[in-house]
Chain A
Amino acid sequence: MKETPLSNCERRFLLRAIEEKKRLDGRQTYDYRNIKISFGTDYGCCIVELGKTRVLGQVSCELVSPKLNRATEGILFFNLELSQMAAPAFEPGRQSDLLVKLNRLLERCLRNSKCIDTESLCVVAGEKVWQIRVDLHLLNHDGNIIDAASIAAIVALCHFRRPDVSVQGDEVTLYTLEERDPVPLSIHHMPICVSFAFFQQGTYLLVDPNEREERVMDGLLVIAMNKHREICTIQSSCGIMLLKDQVLRCSKIAGVKVAEITELIQKALENDQKVRKEGGKFGFAESIANQRITAFRMEKAPIDTSDVEEKAEEIISEAEPPSEVVSKPVLWTPGTAQIGEGIENSWGDLEDSEKEDEDEGGSDEAIILDSIKMDTGEVSNIGSQDAPIVLSDSEEEEMIILEPDKNRKKIRTQTISATQVKAPSKKPVKKRKKKRAAN
């Protein structure tokens, strides 16, 4: 489905509002939308909501052999998917420019900033390391995908626990979750992306643009920063030229925003850990707001299945008895088996009509053909089907002599019947007969 285009009056309206320092959702210029973080029951699973933009993150791990040039380092892999659920314009299985750009930015933000200690992911140097895979799914697109995705990625990584391993000599033992408590990843810092949208060639600036604002913006600046105010990545896109002051001002704002978000993340993580420790209820079921009228829940419901057996018996007794089936397969030769009696092949219908064709033509040769059979015991399977072949040129004739194979013959007859050749002369038949006999 195509994206609905933004009309000119909508565009003008949005730009005018921005000029007047107003935003459609009532935010101020530097305000972020509400961030909500909820965790799933599995480790490393979270949903981050940034306003209406929603990203699902899931971290998984696998033991693999390391890259040749980095024998002692684990592997980090990021994959952001733009599901069609997020917006109708996202087609499944297509690598759009936007997707490539976002994935690259995420990699730069999280892998190149070395926020995860990849050396601690090494199990046996040069042989076994952990590969950490971060899958991010965009569920709803309402602008600023990169911020939501970077928050989801770092939250999922912080929440994730990998199974414990022990190495004794050459033996690597992997412990299940029940045997040993899983181990968290060692995370040095938490880089978070903050997006700035520019309008009117950089005159106006907005933090955290929503989808509508993204469509009318002139330029975008993304700054990835951690709470120590260290810039991890900076990217300016859409080809806008920015002044030095503007970039510095943006980095200052980013510092404040990142500190706020980091605090929020840590609070959410602590909360979840506390609930898990105390054995309370956790997971997405708990994060559904129960007071909403669109939400509904039902407690565990017992189902009366006492009459199930009677019902089943009733149905079976009413049903017709199943047809008898020979369950023992008959082995004729190794590699073959037969079940049941076997019916005549219905695939031969086509050939029947051909046979009729031939019968018309070949009927007057019946006597001669009989004599052929008598003459040549070896080529006994040459029936009336074979007769019309005679008309074909010598080359083909030879082919048939060399391979007295049934299938081939059928193909041959087919082609000939297609050319509507009828009533071949007797002479060539005799010729061939001799040839065959000689063979």
Chain B
Amino acid sequence: MEGATQTETKIRAESGIESGPRGPGCSLRHFACEQNLLSRPDGSASFLQGDTSVLAGVYGPAEVKVSKEIFNKATLEVTLRPKIGLPGVAEKSRERLIRNTCEAVVLGALHPRTSITVVLQVVSDAGSLLACCLNAACMALVDAGVPMRALFCGVTCALDSDGNLLLDPTAKQEKEARAVLTFALDSVERKLLMSTTKGLYSDAELQQCLAAAQAASQHVFRFYRESLQRRYSKS
């Protein structure tokens, strides 16, 4: 047991400039968010988790192409743009995951025959990119005033070779990890909206990660609440 904690601290010490010393349990990197920073989109947000940064813009509910029109609900589109080069398969797959998550919470039926477009731009990737994309998308949707059933957040967990659980891993930790699991959770029931995993893990570990993600989601939602309170406070 002692050996395990030793290696854990060693890995964390190695993990670079920005993460610094992490607590013995798990911690989230520092969060920052700025809303409404772009003038053209209806809603925009830039979300930072440590050095990972994603910018999101939302248009909608707006005019929709006839070919994409859905008669009883809004058409939700998500585009994710990488920083270098053209979007590839990885981006398409992430787009789909984010779109499915958004579709689960956005009340599209209130705006039939319209389009809601979420555009995400990766500004820097330093681990937990998908989680950061989800958080940025949520904050941008809130800024655009799109009606939603609940808020959502993304949390990434990593399991290292010793079976230790890491929350919000950096790029290096993700690379060394045995398994990386990303969950999207809703704010009302704290239930799972989306999960995507990579690597090997047992069912017990999956449940542990999920429970840890739920604990972490409380912090993220508190961050959402405080940032919105600050924005809409009168003082």
Q: Is the interface of B mostly helix, strand, loop or mixed?
A: mixed
- Indicate if A141 sits at the interface (CB-CB under 8 A): yes
Smallest CB-CB separation from B214: which chain A residue?
Answer: A311
Residues 15-50 of B at the A interface (beta carbon under 8 Å): 17-18, 20, 22-23, 25-41, 44, 46, 48
| A312 in contact with B83 (CB, 8 Å) | no
B84–A60 contact, CB under 8 A? yes
Partner of B215, one of A45, A297, A305, A322: A305
Given contacts A295-B32, A305-B215, contact A285 B208 (CB under 8 A): no
Contacts known (A58-B83, A295-B32, A298-B32); A1 close to B62, Cβ less than 8 A: yes
Which of the candidate stretches A10-18, A80-88, A353-361, A416-424 sits at the interface with the other chain? A80-88
Say how far B80's CB is from chain A's closest CB, in angstroms: 10
Q: Are A85 and B121 in contact (CB under 8 A)?
A: yes
Min CB distance, A13 to chain B, in Å? Answer: 20
Would A88 and B25 count as touching, CB distance under 8 A? Answer: no
B165 at the interface (CB under 8 A from A): yes
Question: From residue A210, how far is it (CB to closest CB) to chain B in Å?
Answer: 10
- Give the size category of B's interface with A: 35 or more
Binds B, one of A113-121, A230-238, A286-294: A286-294
Flag the segment in B5-13, B103-111, B222-230 that touches A.
B222-230
Q: Chain A 1-24 against B: per-residue CB contact (8 Å), 1 yes, 0 no?
A: 110000000000000000000000
Check A139 against B48 for contact (C-beta < 8 Å): no
A289 contacts which chain B residues (CB < 8 A)?
A: 34
CB-contacts of B179-235 with A (<8 A): 203-208, 210-212, 215-216, 219, 223, 226-227, 230-231, 233
The residue on A at minimum CB distance from B224 is A296
B84 with A135: CB separation less than 8 A: yes
- Tell whether A300 pairs with B53 under 8 Å between CB atoms, given A40-B124, A52-B39, A312-B211: no
A-B contact pairs, 14 of them (CB 8 A): A1-B63, A52-B39, A60-B84, A85-B38, A88-B41, A283-B51, A285-B48, A289-B34, A294-B36, A300-B27, A308-B208, A308-B212, A311-B207, A312-B206
Please name 19 further chain A to chain B contacts, defined as beta carbons within 8 Å, in addition to the given A294-B35, A305-B212, sorted by A numbering. Answer: A1-B59, A1-B62, A41-B126, A47-B123, A84-B119, A85-B40, A92-B79, A135-B83, A135-B84, A139-B121, A140-B41, A284-B46, A289-B34, A294-B37, A298-B223, A300-B30, A303-B27, A308-B211, A312-B207
Partner-A contacts on B (CB < 8 A): 17-18, 20, 22-23, 25-41, 44, 46, 48, 51, 53, 55, 57, 59, 62-63, 79, 81, 83-85, 115, 117, 119, 121, 123-124, 126, 165, 167, 203-208, 210-212, 215-216, 219, 223, 226-227, 230-231, 233
- Interface residues, chain A, with chain B CB atoms under 8 Å away: 1-2, 40-42, 45, 47, 52, 54, 56, 58, 60, 81, 83-88, 92, 133, 135, 137, 139-142, 279, 283-285, 288-289, 292-309, 311-313, 315-316, 322
